[in-house]
Amino acid sequence: DAKTTQPPSMDCAEGRAANLPCNHSTISGNEYVYWYRQIHSQGPQYIIHGLKNNETNEMASLIITEDRKSSTLILPHATLRDTAVYYCIVRNAGGTSYGKLTFGQGTILTVHP
């Protein structure tokens, strides 16, 4: 699976959009970009994933660049409860991947009042 690079920490004001970047310059054509978050040592929580098109769900939006070498997770209106570690994970779908996830260090997002 491709390696990802994320900033170690970011700050965001409550009510503003939080834009979390992820670099995955070695991504291959059949690899998806997944985002999970972990709130205060709870179990990680799935947020969103995508292959090459931008994706949106009730939690967030995922913007993937045309060359797929980087992506941005957008939390449109951050709240204090969005303070967490955010993990960007790139992995194959199908084959022998079996849903396995390789976690990096992630980005610590702190939302402040």
Partner 1 sequence: NAGVTQTPKFRVLKTGQSMTLLCAQDMNHEYMYWYRQDPGMGLRLIHYSVGEGTTAKGEVPDGYNVSRLKKQNFLLGLESAAPSQTSVYFCASSLTDTEAFFGQGTRLTVV
| Rounded Cα–Cα distance for residues 95 and 9 (Å) | 34
Burial-class residue 113 by CB neighbours within 10 Å (0-12, 13-18, 19+).
exposed
Provide the minimum distance between the beta carbon of 55 and partner 1 in the complex, in angstroms, as a whole number: 12
Residue 102 binds to partner 1 (criterion: CB under 8 A)? yes
Residue 98 binds to partner 1 (criterion: CB under 8 A)? yes
* Of the candidate residues 40, 42, 53, 66, the single one contacting partner 1 (CB under 8 A): 42
Provide the minimum distance between the beta carbon of 37 and partner 1 in the complex, in angstroms, as a whole number: 11
Residue 99 binds to partner 1 (criterion: CB under 8 A)? yes
Helices (H) and strands (E) in the chain, counts: 0, 9
Q: Are 20 and 12 in contact (CB under 8 A)?
A: no
* Site residues (vs partner 1, CB under 8 A): 34, 41-46, 49, 87, 93-94, 97-106
